[in-house]
Structure 1
Amino acid sequence: MKALLPFLVLLLAAATAQGQLYEARAGSVSFEKRSRDAVQVQVEATADWTRDYWQRWLKDNYKIKLKGNGVLKVGKSDYLTASQVLISSTTNQFVDLYSTITAPSDTVAELSVWAATGPDTFLAASGREFGPMRDIVQRFATAARLQAIRDGVNEAEKALAAATKDKEKLERSRANLAGNTKSNLARIEQLHQQNAENKVKSAEDSVKLLDNARLLELRQSQLERNRTRLLNLDRP
């Protein structure tokens, strides 16, 4: 039983950590040298992915465009802000919205969101506007979880498509090589056959060459005799 205790502690810690993911909760951040009440949530993603998706999600769902990316990512700020935005339709209270994303680990990012109704007047966790802000963050966390799964599916589909394409390419290459090898083997067999025929023809030509040499010798002898006879007849 004692041996199981460390393992059970690890399981409990893992379950607790997993349970904290995607749950919006009250927390605090240090902003302008003071502690501010904030809504915080951890998602299973990188900080860059969370930052980009948080901006896209707010713009698509609440028409809130966050600032803080600078120009072409130059002058990028740690804080994303939006001035005078409405986060609750029940109070019609406009606030300045602030958020930042940190990375507790390589695979987990934490979004912190807080707001102010005026200069140095920030929403408190006990205030009624804090609830709607928490709802927004919780809805984002739920959407982020689904989006991360969709992205994972998309990446898996792309990887599968790439692997399938590579497989088809390798199969075509293998088929082409097999066809080329078959053609080469047929050509080699043809060349072997042609070499065998050439060898036989060469042997036949060697015999004919000997016969031709004897015939040439005979014809040369006949020519010499005829020339001699012709010379003798031409003498006076």
Structure 2
Amino acid sequence: MKLPLLLPALLLTATLAQAQLYEARTSSVNFDKRSRDAVKVEVEASADWTRDFWQRWLKDTYNIKLKGDGVFGVGKRDNMMAKQVPMSSVSGQLIDLYSTVTAPADTVSELSVWAATGPDTFLAASSGEFTSLRTIVQSFGTAARQRAYRERIETAEKELAATTKEKEKLEKSRASLASNTKSNLDKIEQLKQQNSDNKRKSADDSVKLLDNARLLELRQAQLERQRARLLNLDRQ
């Protein structure tokens, strides 16, 4: 009885959750034992996908190469950074750009981005530079959405092509089996007709065999009589 009342609320919750995807928002992260203002955006993809696409997008768009915070920056670490890089759309100064990717759900990952213009001079959410940073992250969210849908379309096209190929294969197999079955049925009919002809001819041969047996007996008797006559002539 309560389901009809709960359904609109569930649909609204799902719609709001979907609307939050790919939308940049102001938040914070804990970095160097302090809370830093950060821009976050959720992406409907795995953490690995989001991390890789974020790195490629930054390289292609701003020629910024992120590195992990591990030894010599090698490998995929929790935090990615680019030290003292130019990003004129954010600041006239060189900036330190930081980011990390987490997975709050199985099918959703979250990118967090924050920046500093110097040692312990992190961009505050109230600054114009932070607003510019948020615009950049929003641009990434839009690009990620487009890329995700393109990949889904590519996957769907491949699946459709594979299904179509399987359909054609099955239809070809079905047509081949039908043709083979028809050929076998035709052969069966031919064999049935041949068996019928063989049976009829066998019956005819049986009658002829009886006639032949009587004729053979007659010929044998005639031969014996001729032999007997010849024997009598030789005795005279």
Q: Which amino acid aligns with 1:129?
A: E
**1:163 aligns to what?**
163
Deviates further, 153-162 or 180-189: 153-162
Q: Which amino acid aligns with 2:115?
A: A
**2:199 aligns to what?**
199
Q: Indicate whether 1:26 and 2:26 are aligned.
A: yes
Would the aligned equivalents of 1:24 and 1:137 in 2 still touch at CA under 8 Å? yes
SS in 1 for 2:77: coil
Q: Which amino acid aligns with 2:150?
A: R
Deviates further, 150-159 or 6-15: 6-15
Separation in 1 of the partners of 2:36 and 2:69? Answer: 23
Give the C-alpha shift of residue 99 in structure 1.
1.3
**2:47 aligns to what?**
47
**1:63 aligns to what?**
63
- 1:212-223 aligned at under 5 Å gives the runs 212-223=212-223
**1:224 aligns to what?**
224
Give the C-alpha shift of residue 117 in structure 1.
3.2
Q: Indicate whether 1:94 and 2:94 are aligned.
A: yes
Deviates further, 226-235 or 143-152: 226-235
Deviates further, 79-88 or 5-14: 5-14
After superposition, the Cα gap between the structure-2 partners of 1:90 and 1:27, relative to the gap in structure 1 and judged at 3 Å, is: closer
RMSD of aligned C-alpha atoms? 2.8
Would the aligned equivalents of 1:22 and 1:141 in 2 still touch at CA under 8 Å? yes
Deviates further, 205-214 or 91-100: 91-100
SS in 1 for 2:117: strand
Q: How many residues align?
A: 232
Q: Which amino acid aligns with 1:63?
A: N
Q: Which amino acid aligns with 2:191?
A: L
Would the aligned equivalents of 1:37 and 1:123 in 2 still touch at CA under 8 Å? yes
Instruction: Please give the per-residue CA displacement for 1:131-162, whole angstroms capped at 9, x wherever unaligned.
Output: 22211101001111122222222222222222
- 1:66-145 aligned at under 5 Å gives the runs 66-68=66-68, 75-89=75-89, 91-145=91-145
Give the C-alpha shift of residue 193 in structure 1.
0.8
After superposition, the Cα gap between the structure-2 partners of 1:64 and 1:90, relative to the gap in structure 1 and judged at 3 Å, is: closer
Q: Indicate whether 1:35 and 2:35 are aligned.
A: yes
Q: Which runs of 5 or more structure 2 residues have no equivalent in the other structure? A: none
**2:147 aligns to what?**
147
Deviates further, 200-209 or 61-70: 61-70
Deviates further, 146-155 or 8-17: 8-17
After superposition, the Cα gap between the structure-2 partners of 1:11 and 1:209, relative to the gap in structure 1 and judged at 3 Å, is: closer
Separation in 2 of the partners of 1:122 and 1:69? Answer: 18
Report percent identity of matched pairs. 70
Scaled by the length of structure 2, what TM-score is found?
0.84
Separation in 1 of the partners of 2:35 and 2:59? Answer: 27
Give the C-alpha shift of residue 231 in structure 1.
4.2
Q: Which amino acid aligns with 2:226?
A: N
After superposition, the Cα gap between the structure-2 partners of 1:94 and 1:231, relative to the gap in structure 1 and judged at 3 Å, is: farther
Instruction: Please give the per-residue CA displacement for 1:60-118, whole angstroms capped at 9, x wherever unaligned.
Output: 22222223399xxx943122222332222574322222211112222322110112334
